[in-house]
Amino acid sequence: MTRLGTMTRQPGSSAQETSPGAGPGCSFRNVRERLQDSGLRPTRQRMALGWLLFGKGDRHVTAEALYEEARGAKTLLSLATVYNTLRQFSEAGLLREIAVYGSRIWYDTNTGPHFHFYVEDRDQLLDVPDDLMAVLKMPTAPNGMEIIGADVIVRVKAAPQA
Ligand SMILES: [Zn+2]
C-alpha cells in the first residue's frame, strides 16, 4: 500500500479521516460522501475505484490503466467491472468522458470546463493550462441555442531533435 503514501488510510485512526485539506486528493470519507451525493451506493467496488480515482488530485485515466492500477493495489476487480463503474461515475457526473480519435475513452476527474492536449507518441492526455485557454476562443451558439459543452483536443507529439 506504499503507492498511496501519506494518503493511506490508517486502520483504527479515524481522527485522521476527518481532517480536511490533508492533500491534493480527498479522504476515504470524502469518497464515500462524493458517491452518496451523486446518488450512488458506496459499494466496496465503487469505493475501491473511487479511492484510486479521487484520492490523488485531478487525473486522466483509461479503463485499462485503472484496471492495472487496481491490480497493483491488490484490489481484485474484473475489467468489465471497471468499465461499468467508470460509466456509472460518468453518468452520475463524477467523471467527464473524453473520446479521443485513435485512442480509447478517457475519464477525467476534473469535470469543469477545460481543453486537452493529446500526446500521440506517449498516449497521454494533459490539460491545456488556463492561460492558453483564453487563446482558444469559443464561438457563440446559433440563434435560440445554448452551449452545453465543448471538447477541444489539441494533438501533439515530441518534436524532432534539431
Ligand atoms: Zn482534463
Task: State the pLDDT at residue 15.
Answer: 36
Residue 79 C-alpha to ligand 1 middle, in angstroms?
Answer: 23
Residue 29 confidence class, pLDDT cut points 50, 70, 90 = confident
Residue-wise pLDDT for 96-155, tens only, equals 999 998 878 999 999 988 899 999 999 999 999 888 777 777 789 999 999 888 888 999
Residue 105, helix vs strand vs coil: strand
The domain spans of the chain are 115-156
| Residue closest to 151 by CA, chosen among 91, 96, 86, 93 | 96
Residue 25 confidence class, pLDDT cut points 50, 70, 90 = low
Residue 7 confidence class, pLDDT cut points 50, 70, 90 = very low
Residue 90 C-alpha to ligand 1 middle, in angstroms?
Answer: 14
Using an 8 Å Cβ cutoff, are 54 and 109 in contact? yes
- Whole-angstrom distance, CA of residue 31 vs CA of residue 37: 10
| 104: its cell numbers | 480509447
CA separation, residue 5 to residues 11, 72, 113 (Å): 14, 14, 30
Residue 99 C-alpha to ligand 1 middle, in angstroms?
Answer: 12
Residue 148 C-alpha to ligand 1 middle, in angstroms?
Answer: 17
Residue 17 confidence class, pLDDT cut points 50, 70, 90 = very low
Residue with the larger pLDDT of the pair 121 and 14: 121
Count of CA atoms in the C-beta half-sphere (13 A) of 101: 5
Q: Has residue 10 got a pLDDT over 60?
A: no
Go through 94-105 and write b for each residue having 16 or more CB atoms within 10 A of its CB, e for each that does not: bbbebebeebee
